[in-house]
Structure 1
Amino acid sequence: MLLIFLTVAAVLLALCTTTGGTADRSNVSITKTEGDTHEGYVDVTGGRVWFRIVGADSAGTPLLVLHGGPGATHDYLEPLAALADERPVVFYDQLGCGNSDRPDDPALWTVERYVKEVGEVRDALGLRRVHLLGQSWGGALAVEYVLSNKSDGVESLILSAPLLDADRWVADQRAHLAAFPDEMQEVVREAEATGNFDSPEYQEAMATYYARHVCRTDPWPECLNRTFEKISLPVYLGMWGPSEFTCTGTLRTFNVTGRLAEIPVPVLFTCGEHDEAPPATMAHFQRLVPGSELAVFEGASHEHHLEETDAYLAAVRDFMRLRKREALSSCEVPEGNGA
């Protein structure tokens, strides 16, 4: 028991030295340590969430990664660990997902609770300052978190193909669907009308759709397959709905476009040319955030970080480096004005 406590204390001390934060050790348990990579659990409202810190000894401001779904896992975002040569990269599986607890309580699957969870993870791990990266639904979570008067210590937002307006998301998916053969569209319409989403025809239609707009590599990366194998259907159904084309869950009225101008930190939007979140929609969102940037990856889709990994990591890395240079520049004291 003493050895376990000392290991937890050492890990959190190392991370807090990097972040300048103070971790609540009573809410954290470390289950695995390999070099500067640590795994464990954080107590949050409703249960425990699993986390992994890669590059805990790195000196830069940590990158906290929010996965999509809802109901997905961190696995498909693992290539972001390459950024740990400059900063700690913190992954976690949201409650109900992946390696985290999976309570049978639909009341937990709300935007408000997941926003609170982000803060609980930050507090527990001592992440006083962070860059926040959200992919898909994770982008919705990142924006809502910052807009809920919780932007303190968030140095920037990286929003990869974010869901920011549920109605627009559905409209974009239906516009994509309209480009497929009539037979495939009819299969989708029949499944939506009957509620039978298990038919081989529907599964084939969705595989075809995903191959064009979710991930265009063939075969899919192993990390993405792992995420799909672990997908939490109760969370996906409870928050989104029966398919990408229909939203009936707690996100059905989600829309933060009218508040995007209030985001107080630098923002980088990213998307693929064939993304579920298409370039036109991302350009619209970017125009609503003063000073924000947009990177579009040609030939890629929703998982552009897997399809164009090197280019994506370079864009994210450069964006965070620029924020550091800006912060250092703002701290410079003009000559003759004292220490």
Structure 2
Amino acid sequence: MSTDPQPPGQERPYPEPTKAGTIPFEYPSTGLKGGTYYLVFGDLSSGKRPLICLHGGPGAGHNYILPISLISKDYDIPVVMYDQVGCGKSTHFPDKKNDGEFWKPEVFMDEFENLCSYLKITEYDLLGQSWGGMLAGNYAIDRQPKGLNKIIISDSPADMITWVSTANRLRKELPKDVQETLTRCEKEEKTDTPEYEEAMMVFLNRYCCRLNPWPEEASATMANLSDPTQTTYMTMNGPSEFHVIGTLKTWDIREGLKKITSETAPGGLLVMNGYYDEAQDETLEETEKYIKDLGIFLTAE
């Protein structure tokens, strides 16, 4: 029998956060003031390099990545996660809803640096899932942060065109009546109707969460994304994973990935996805093509 820790999941109780609260955040270019809700699992003063987690969406919130908190319990590694502004328990900035000039990756890069400064984190490993992985790559390229050690990119594309192309390929595998409903609602601009949402759930049940019923954490994240006061997903992405009409429509960091080297992430880079995943292999192959030093550090110290 294996002595390895059991895989994370709803059958294992998560540790209680050792610290949680809201960090003041002011976006420099606008002077807007708000707050970032965060949780810390483990001891940031232990001397061990923490793992900071970036959730997806945009606008998904931290709920569905809570299983990662078990790393603090199993391996004594501090784990930090937070709700990015625009969703969850962080400030939503409702006046900026549908403001494409405001909701860009730069907002979230500044928020991340503000989080690290507030928690006095100078060295860290970074895990980004879906949009969070896009943000992690964008951040590493644009800011070349000094304290970054390892990067984990989970289920994330390097450009939105490949992502949408892949999503539409998966869409063609849905039942014909579901495809017809999606197409008709998009053509009639009725993507906010229960009919469209029901058809989207068929897709999500195949490529987002295959458990039935969904775990509480996944349902909470879906509630974050459908919250009418949430300001990021529709503005940055659009009504669905394959109908991307927001500010991320032309997002592309492929050429910039050449700037992520062994100096940028000395601990290495791990790129991963799942078999039943929106981020199919072709989305990750784009990353591998463009990164000069691709290191797998599963056994790295």
Q: Above 0.5 in TM-score?
A: yes
User: What's the offset of the Cα at 1:101?
Assistant: 1.2
Partner of 2:246: 249
Contact 1:76 / 1:224 at 8 angstroms: preserved in 2?
yes
TM-score, length basis structure 2: 0.83
TM-score, length basis structure 1: 0.74
In 1, the alpha carbon distance for the partners of 2:85 and 2:135 equals 13
Which 5+ residue runs of structure 2 have no aligned equivalent?
Answer: 1-14
Cα distance change, pair 160–59 in 1 and its aligned pair in 2 (3 A):
same
In 2, the alpha carbon distance for the partners of 1:140 and 1:36 equals 26
AA in 1 matched with 2:102: L
> Is 2:83 the counterpart of 1:93?
yes
> Is 2:150 the counterpart of 1:160?
no
AA in 1 matched with 2:65: L
In 1, the alpha carbon distance for the partners of 2:21 and 2:102 equals 22
User: What's the offset of the Cα at 1:162?
Assistant: 1.1
Deviations along 1:214-268, one digit per CA (max 9) or x if unpaired, are 1111111111111111225431111111211122111111100112121121210
AA in 1 matched with 2:37: W
Partner secondary structure for residue 148 of structure 1: helix
Partner secondary structure for residue 108 of structure 1: coil
Contact 2:64 / 2:221 at 8 angstroms: preserved in 1?
yes
Partner of 1:290: 292
Q: Which has the higher contact order (CA 8 A, sep 6+)?
A: 2
Partner of 2:218: 224
1:320-335 map, 5 Å:
322=300, 325=301
- The range that moved more, 91-100 or 179-188, is 179-188
AA in 2 matched with 1:41: T
User: What's the offset of the Cα at 1:293?
Assistant: 5.3
In 2, the alpha carbon distance for the partners of 1:75 and 1:224 equals 7
Cα distance change, pair 280–36 in 1 and its aligned pair in 2 (3 A):
closer
Cα distance change, pair 204–147 in 1 and its aligned pair in 2 (3 A):
same
Partner of 2:21: 40
Partner of 1:54: 41
Deviations along 1:119-165, one digit per CA (max 9) or x if unpaired, are 11111111100101100000111111111133211001101111321
Partner secondary structure for residue 50 of structure 1: strand
Contact 1:59 / 1:88 at 8 angstroms: preserved in 2?
no
Q: CA RMSD in A?
A: 1.9
Contact 2:92 / 2:231 at 8 angstroms: preserved in 1?
no
In 1, the alpha carbon distance for the partners of 2:156 and 2:202 equals 22
> Is 2:191 the counterpart of 1:192?
no
Partner of 1:12: none
Identity %: 32
Larger Rg: 1
In 1, the alpha carbon distance for the partners of 2:242 and 2:203 equals 11
Higher share in helix:
1
In 2, the alpha carbon distance for the partners of 1:199 and 1:147 equals 38
Partner of 2:3: none
Deviations along 1:144-189, one digit per CA (max 9) or x if unpaired, are 1111133211001101111321111111110001112222111111
Which 5+ residue runs of structure 1 have no aligned equivalent?
Answer: 1-33, 295-317, 326-339
Partner secondary structure for residue 272 of structure 1: coil
Contact 2:124 / 2:149 at 8 angstroms: preserved in 1?
yes
Cα distance change, pair 61–185 in 1 and its aligned pair in 2 (3 A):
same
